[in-house]
Amino acid sequence: MSVSTPPSFRTEPFHISAVLGKSVKIYLDLFVVFVVIALIFLLPGAVTQFAFGAWPAPVSPKPGAAPDLTGVWASLLINVLLQIVGGSTLILLSFQKLNGEAGDVGAAFRRALSRFFPVLGIFLLVWLFIVIGIAVGIVVGMAFYLARSHFTPTVSAEAFSMIGFALAFVLASVLLIILACMFSVATQASLAESLGPWASMQRSRKLSKGERWRIFGLLLIAFLPMFVLVFASTSNGAGIVSPTALSLGGLVVNLLWMPFSAAFSAVLFHDLRLAKESADKRVTEQLLAS
């Protein structure tokens, strides 16, 4: 099955308001289906996290007992793998909606499974770049601190350490923002165009070129509220709410946000391709091909 330019939305240049509007429309139109699918893929991971004491607000199976680190890592791995498949399924359902089709959950799930390893490869490569970006920031900050002897002796070592830390933080943050914008549609490209991990990342780099400031603005608008909600649902400065209730709150936030993130991701790829390659070309050539 191929996906052509959807008839339900007016084709126009890449705009922040258009991306957000389409994302919200898809999210609301498929809300029940989206939440049920998200629950199916999030619940097993949440259960294993609870069992091994790896919830955001740490919960140990036995009061006062330390979490089993092996179990913690195993539960986090299960959670990541399930979210890759679940997120891919939701993105593919969003592509179907963009094409004006009735959602075919079975076809989307089969496609998600068939693209699991390429998407996992993208996930690992992006994290590798993130680690490199953080490392570069740390190295620059340490180099600045170690070079303090070449500056005036009136500046204290503590001041240099603070400046070095700030420099490392700023540099690492800038690099991470660039990476986030550059590879923002890599997963979508892999799902829609059957590309491998590196080819998907290069495809994303090409599509995002010239639009990264808008993408950065979109990421801020779309995901900053989620980070605030997650922080609020997993922090307990007053000690009023129990850790279990906080963790359940984090799960609910994730349950509601995962579908919107998928809809947003699909629309972002869709609109970038329309803006870059004209409305006369298909959004994908073999989306959900059997």
Q: How far is CA 275 from the centre of its chain?
A: 22
Cβ atoms of 76 and 256 closer than 8 Å: no
Mean pLDDT, range 126-142, rounded to an integer: 83
Mean pLDDT is highest, among 42-56, 193-207, 226-240, for 193-207
Mean pLDDT, rounded, for 266-283: 74
pLDDT of residue 93: 95
83: closest CA among 265, 218, 269, 254?
A: 254
User: Which pLDDT does position 135 carry in this prediction?
Assistant: 84
On whether the CB atoms of residues 117 and 73 are closer than 8 A, the answer is no
The string of pLDDT tens digits covering residues 144-176 is: 767 665 655 555 666 666 777 777 788 888 888
Distance CA 217, CA 222 (A): 9
Top-confidence residue, 238 or 93: 93
Q: Which of 285, 129, 258 lies closest to 202 in space, CA to CA?
A: 129
What pLDDT score was predicted for residue 190?
A: 95
114-135 in b/e burial notation, b at 16+ Cβ within 10 A? ebeebbebbbebbeebeeebbe
* Per-residue pLDDT tens digits for 212-251: 899 998 888 887 776 766 666 555 544 555 556 666 777 7
pLDDT of residue 66: 55
Kindly indicate the confidence band of residue 72, based on its pLDDT and cuts at 50, 70 and 90. low
Q: What is the mean pLDDT of the chain?
A: 78
Q: What pLDDT is attached to residue 286?
A: 43
Sequence-separated (6 or more) residues with CB below 8 Å from residue 252: 233
Please compute the mean of the pLDDT values over residues 45-54 and round it to a whole number: 67
pTM: 0.81
pLDDT of residue 18 exceeding 70, the answer is yes
What pLDDT score was predicted for residue 287? 44
SS (H, E, C) 74-105: HHHHHHHHHHHHHHHHHHHHHHHHHCCCCCCH
Minimum mean pLDDT among 66-75, 81-90, 147-156: which range? 147-156
> 3 has which bridge partners?
284
Burial class for 273, CB neighbours closer than 10 Å (0-12, 13-18, 19+) = buried
Q: Where are the alpha helices (DSSP H) in 151-196?
A: 157-182, 186-193
Dihedral angle computed from the Cα positions of residues 146, 135, 218 and 105, in that order, rounded to the nearest 10 degrees? -170
Residue 62 clears pLDDT 60, i.e. is over it? no
Take residue 58 and report the two structure tokens written for it.
């740490």
Q: What is the pLDDT of residue 253?
A: 80
Alpha-carbon separation of residue 103 from 11, 98, 110, 203 (angstroms): 22, 10, 13, 26
User: What does the radius of gyration of the chain's CA atoms come to, in whole angstroms?
Assistant: 21
pLDDT at site 42: 86
pLDDT-wise least confident of 189-203, 228-242, 256-270: 228-242
* pLDDT of amino acid 231: 64
Q: Which two tokens stand for residue 197?
A: 């991990």
pLDDT at 105: 92
CB 98 within 8 A of CB 287: no
